[in-house]
Structure 1
Amino acid sequence: MVRTSVLAGLLAALLCGTAAQAAEERGPVTNLPLPRYVSLKTGEGNARRGPSLTHRIDWVYKRRDMPLEITAEYGHWRRVRDKDGVGGWIHYALLSGVRTVLIEEDMLELHQRPDPATPVEAKLAIGVIAHLEHCEKDWCELSAGGYAGWAPKTAVWGVGPDEILE
């Protein structure tokens, strides 16, 4: 009986602290926040089942600048996932801190300012990779194909919902 109540108390404490703990989690190698977004530096990157060259390749990313989310670190390896939730372990040399996003809304309008009433500078097709310049609470400034403008944060993948970038 005592054992059960102690375990229940520990479980409750863990569950209550999960959100705060997740917000403060840092990578053991880089001391950078986890999870965090990066991009693929090369035109091809192998996602492996584990953090070494001896592990099987599960996935091959073929798009340079593809946004990826780092969820874990081990030595020179980073566990990543894409917008579909698939991924694996990639060597850190294949990743870049340059921020990009994947457009998730077809013909996404880029506005002059973070306001839907301002003129449209360009429209981006679904699946386009855009460079992330700045983010406010609800809007991000993007650039792609020589065009730049502001889009709603909810229309892209590769930036956290509460993330602010200056």
Structure 2
Amino acid sequence: MKTALRLLSLLALSTGVASHAYALDFKSVGAAPAVLYDAPSEKGRRVFVAPRNMPVEVVLTYGEWSKVRDSAGSLSWVSSKALQAKRMLVVTAANAKIRTAPNDTGAVTFSADKNVLLELVEPAASGWVKIRHRDGQTGYAKASELWGD
């Protein structure tokens, strides 16, 4: 049994499957609010209306439906057409300081309160993410103070 598990592990590593097994696929609700359901069907129970640009993690795609996780960890289903590739992030800290440089010594450009939506400009590097506020201001925020990256 142990030999079989080792062979499967080696096969997964050699084919690249293991490197994608835990890849996160983040998207955002499109330009219009989207209804989230408890099942992959409009006949399912409506559980939430997601505001436009809300970031979600796509856990599974089933036909024209996506099972998504929100920043609170709740799982629900949404029509895949309601999602966009544009990456948005939500502030999880009480007050995130957005800086001019990706470090703690960069000047503070602005601050963003909890639940503020920010657009991802550049993915995380060394614990910092380049973001853009809807008013056009850009800067760097600590990745640990955001969800959706």
Tell me the TM-score normalized by structure 2. 0.83
Matched with 1:30 is: none
Q: Quick one: distance in 2 between partners of 1:21 and 1:82?
A: 25
1:24 matched to 2:46: no
After superposition, the C-alpha distances for 1:9-60 in whole angstroms (9 at most, x for unaligned) are 77x66x96899856424xxxxxxx8530000114421111222222222222
Q: Quick one: distance in 1 between partners of 2:113 and 2:74?
A: 22
Q: Quick one: distance in 2 between partners of 1:73 and 1:34?
A: 14
1:157 matched to 2:147: yes
**What one-letter code is carried by the residue in structure 2 that aligns with 1:85?**
G
Residue of 117, 138, 146 corresponding to 1:129: 117
Q: Quick one: distance in 1 between partners of 2:146 and 2:120?
A: 10
CA contact (8 A) 1:138 1:153 kept: yes
RMSD: 2.6
| Residue identity (%) | 21
Matched with 2:105 is: 117
Matched with 2:40 is: 51
SS in 2 for 1:102: strand
Q: Which runs of 5+ in 1 are unaligned?
A: 1-5, 26-32, 160-166
Residue of 55, 63, 84 corresponding to 1:67: 55
Q: Quick one: distance in 2 between partners of 1:106 and 1:128?
A: 10
Q: How many residues align?
A: 144
- Label 1:103 to 1:64 Cα distance change in 2 as closer, same or farther (>3 A): same
1:86 matched to 2:82: no
Residue of 76, 101, 106 corresponding to 2:94: 106
Matched with 1:29 is: none
Q: Quick one: distance in 1 between partners of 2:62 and 2:38?
A: 13
Moved more, 47-56 or 66-75: 47-56
- Label 1:46 to 1:130 Cα distance change in 2 as closer, same or farther (>3 A): same
Matched with 2:138 is: 148
Tell me the TM-score normalized by structure 1. 0.75
Q: Quick one: distance in 1 between partners of 2:101 and 2:92?
A: 20
Q: Which runs of 4+ in 1 moved over 3 A?
A: 15-23
